[in-house]
Amino acid sequence: MKLNPAQQEAVEYVTGPCLVLAGAGSGKTRVITNKIAHLILNCGYNARNIAAVTFTNKAAREMRERVNQTLPKGKGRGLIVSTFHTLGLEIIKKEIKTLGIKSGFSLFDDQDSMALLKELTEKTLQGDKDKLRLLQNQISNWKNDLVLPEQAKKHTTNNDEVFLAECYEKYNRLLAAYNAFDFDDLILVPTLLLKQNEQVRDRWQQRIRYLLVDEYQDTNSSQYELVKQIVGRRGLFTVVGDDDQSIYSWRGAKPQNLVKLGEDFTRLKLVKLEDNYRSCGRVLHAANILIANNPHVYDKKLKSNMEYGEILRVIVAKNEENEAERVVAELISHRFMKKTSYKDYAILYRGNHQARVFEKMLMTNRIPYKISGGQSFFARSEIKDIMAYLRVLVNPDDDNAFLRIVNVPRREIGPATLEKLGQYANMRHISMFAASFELGLEQQLTGKRLVNLQRFTRWLVELDDQSQRGEPLEAVRDLIKQSGYEEWLYETSPSGKAAEMRMKNVSQLFGWISGMLKGDEAECIEPMNLKEVVTRLTLREMMEQGNDEDEADQVQLMTLHASKGLEFPYVFMVGMEEGLLPHQTSIDEGSDEEERRLAYVGITRAQHELIFTMAKERRQFGELIKTEPSRFLHELPVDDLDWEVTKRKQSDEQRKEKGKAHVANLMSMLNK
């Protein structure tokens, strides 16, 4: 693969710390993939001593693929390409003894952790959603800053803070009782362990001798500390990033970590890349002009290597339905004229809720599409159910999971039974699952209630035995069959078709499990046992979403956040309105810099053409609100934008009919 001289320099510098700081599309990610190959092929590194960290599972998968293509077969074996969280999980798993935790621990996603917080603040916050969210954020911030409950408690200045810190302490204690970690723990726990335990640190520094980090601008304090602990004094690493694409400050990301890197590693070599290979000149010009409105720590230049390209259009639609209609009509005719594929198009938006009308319009027109994020595969109730079964199977202490499935499908184990069971378990300080076997429970529960409950838990024990006997796949298959889940889906779904769809999702999940147990899933280094599979799936569930049929020819729908690092020939940036982009909260807070960076990320995803759209009216909380064009549209260079002038005289009805006719016309052209 060809590289320019600056990229080449970054790839070949392997004797010390290296930072590549450059704008979008300048080939930073390409530097990382080429450097991995260079380290293995020309510098004598064994692949298993190299780790590359990226931000999403999708990016990790792509990176691994790209590296494998450049290496002779087998040379990439053992290479770690993962997200920060998967790397953290890997460290926890390998150091489970040192950490003194039971294997088969659970991972709690945001919803699980919220359920826990709700439980422990039942009396104080009484389910107040805003306050609960505030508490959850504060705990997350503490964890991201490596602050433990004791330290948090020490630094309180008022009663509110004392309350938050105490909740944090209780929350962590509950997590431990459930033998569970939350998302932020996956970084916090390994980082503190490496920091405090020299032996463990040595072990990991021996294992990972060269570290590469993509999208470095989005690392938070705990992630940065993890990097520091792994590279140690040797300081052999390459990180690449772009401060203008820092869009995760709400998760504690600190672009200042770029500056800190220079202070912490004084030998740091800085490489700047100034050629953009992705976007046409006009797209790049617009992006550069927009981002110039933000203050800059580093001076960066970026010039296009492509032609200047088509004018950037702004489509002004009447309302959100009309916006979706227009985008889909544009897409159909464009595809017809240019003979492109559906997967060449991306529709990018600020918030997941914006996706729905586009989804509907695409479906109506039979256009294949894929939504990344949003209602993810793992958020579907059937997947949550089966995952809960699996979680109980590998970690019977997981009361949350137990409660989710104890009566799904219905087993006549009612709330009164569960309440009694819960009380007894609490008294004995054991899990509900364990409590169900104790003789003492007979005083609380009698007759049929106890029989039903124990039939259920005994059945789980049998499945676990089967799995332990070396038949994990059969155990999972039996679990799904014997639970009667399929029949239950047919009974409870709104239609047979819906039940069928849901069962298809369950089969998909089963397929993944089977692949992981055999070790043929992309992210597997070797076959996994059922415990590992469940933790890995939970992580997939937390990180990202979905059943990634990357190869399929589908229009891509995703949030601006999820589009980071990706590129598409044709991009629609929709909902370009004040209140959406920039988001209302940032307007209220009087700071739009991060939103501008988000717009910059969106614009720089486009390779050939970029179309902005907005709706003049939008429904908000059931009311129709008049909107204003996004300030970012006004910041773009006037000569590069073509604002569509709306013809006022057309009535709504006429417009609607015309839009429909247009789409129908195009479809018939295509079908000929």
Ligand X SMILES: Nc1ncnc2c1ncn2[C@@H]1O[C@H](COP(=O)(O)OP(=O)(O)OP(=O)(O)O)[C@@H](O)[C@H]1O
Binding site per annotation, positions for ATP = 22-29, 278
605 in catalytic set? yes
Catalytic residue among 62, 90, 184, 214: 214
Q: What is the DSSP string of 630-656?
A: -HHHHHS-GGGEEEPPP-TTS-HHHHH
Q: Which is nearer to ligand X, 7 or 144 (CB)?
A: 7
CA dist., res. 568 & res. 75, Å (int): 31
Which residue, 240 or 599, is less far from Mg ion as judged by CB? 240
Q: Which is the catalytic residue, given 7, 245, 457, 607?
A: 245
Q: State the pairing for strand pair 555-559/369-371.
A: parallel
Among candidate residues 62, 95, 109, 215, the one labeled active-site is: 215
Q: How many residues bind Mg ion (CB under 5 A)?
A: 3
488-494: long-range contacts at Cβ-Cβ below 8 A with a sequence spacing of 24 or more?
488/408, 488/409, 488/410, 489/382
5 binds ligand X (CB under 6 A): no
Using CB under 5 A as the binding rule, whether residue 241 contacts Mg ion is answered as: no
Asked if 219 interacts with Mg ion (CB under 5 A), we say no
22 or 147: whose CB is closer to ligand X?
22
CA 95 to chain centroid, in Å, comes to 25
Strand 623-626 versus strand 617-620 pairing type: antiparallel
Give the helix/strand (H/E) hosting 69.
helix 57-70
Site for Mg ion in 550-579 (CB under 5 A): 565
**Which listed option, Mg ion, ligand X, none, makes contact with residue 25 (CB within 5 to 8 Å by class)?**
ligand X
Q: Rg of the chain's alpha carbons, rounded to an integer?
A: 27
- What backbone torsions phi and psi does residue 376 show, to the nearest 5 degrees? -85, 165
Nearest-angstrom CA–CA distance, 135 and 121: 10
CB of 273 to Mg ion, least distance (A): 11
Residue 29 designated active-site: yes
* Shortest Cβ 281–Mg ion spacing (Å): 20
State yes or no: is 245 an active-site residue. yes
* Residue tagged 């040192």 (tokens): 98
Residue 29 found at the interface with Mg ion (CB under 5 A): yes
- Interface pick for ligand X out of 252, 565, 575, 602 (rule CB under 6 A): 565
Please report the DSSP string for 191-255 in residue order.
HHHHHH-HHHHHHHHHH-SEEEESSGGG-BHHHHHHHHHHHTTT--EEEEE-GGG---GGGTB-T
**Nearest approach, Cβ of 358 to ligand X (angstroms)?**
23
List the single partner that 26 binds among Mg ion, ligand X, none, CB under 5 to 8 Å by kind: ligand X
With beta carbons less than 8 A apart as the criterion, state whether 320 and 357 touch: yes
**Residue 64 makes contact with ligand X by CB under 6 A:** no
Q: Is 56 an interacting residue with respect to ligand X (CB under 6 A)? A: no
Q: Using DSSP, state whether 524 is helix, strand or coil.
A: coil
Q: What does 577 interact with, of ligand X, Mg ion, none (CB < 5 to 8 A by kind)?
A: none
Q: Residue 26: left (phi > 0), alpha (psi -120 to 50), or beta?
A: alpha
Q: Rounded distance, CA 427 to CA 425, Å?
A: 5
Total binding residues for ligand X by CB under 6 A? 18
Q: Of the listed pieces 24-32, 43-51, 169-177, 520-528, which binds ligand X according to CB under 6 A? A: 24-32
104 binds, among Mg ion, ligand X, none (CB under 5 to 8 A by kind): none
Cα 423 from Cα 230, distance rounded (Å): 45
Interface with ligand X, residue 30, by CB under 6 A: yes
Mask of contacts with ligand X, 567-596, x by CB under 6 A? x-----------------------------
Write down the least CB distance from residue 29 to Mg ion, Å: 3
Please identify which of the residues 30, 391, 596, 605 carries the catalytic annotation. Answer: 605
- Binding-site member from 27, 190, 546, 579 for ligand X (CB under 6 A): 27
Question: Do residues 555 and 372 make contact, with C-beta atoms less than 8 angstroms apart?
Answer: no
Contacts of 174 (CB under 8 A, 6+ apart): 116, 119, 120
Amino acid at 363: M
Interface with ligand X, residue 3, by CB under 6 A = yes
Annotated binding site: 22-29, 278
Of 145, 218, 227, 222, the C-alpha closest to 187 is 222
What phi and psi values does residue 59 have, to the nearest 5 degrees? Answer: -65, -40
- Say which of 7, 28, 58, 592 is annotated catalytic: 28
Pick the piece of the chain touching ligand X (CB under 6 A) from 3-11, 387-395, 453-461, 510-518: 3-11
Residue 647 interacts, among ligand X, Mg ion, none and using kind-specific CB cut-offs from 5 to 8 Å, with none
Task: Note the Cα 111 to chain centre separation in Å.
Answer: 14
Smallest distance, Å, CB 273 to ligand X?
7
CB atoms within 10 A of CB 654: 11
Answer for which of 11, 21, 24, 39 binds ligand X (CB under 6 A) is 24
Known active-site residue 343: no
How near is the Cβ of 26 to Mg ion at its closest, in Å?
Answer: 9
Q: Which of residues 455-494 bind ligand X (CB under 6 A)?
A: none
| Site pattern 245..264 for ligand X (x: CB under 6 A) | x-------------------
Interacting residues of 615 by C-beta distance below 8 A, sequence separation 6+: 317, 318, 319, 320, 322, 323, 575, 577, 627
The yes or no reply on residue 29 touching ligand X (CB under 6 A) is yes
Q: Which residue's CB is nearer to ligand X, number 472 or number 565?
A: 565
Per-residue tokens: 237: 């690493």
Residues annotated as catalytic are 28-29, 214-215, 245, 605
For Mg ion, the binding residues (CB under 5 A) are 28-29, 565
For ligand X, the binding residues (CB under 6 A) are 2-4, 7, 24-30, 242, 245, 277-278, 565, 567, 604
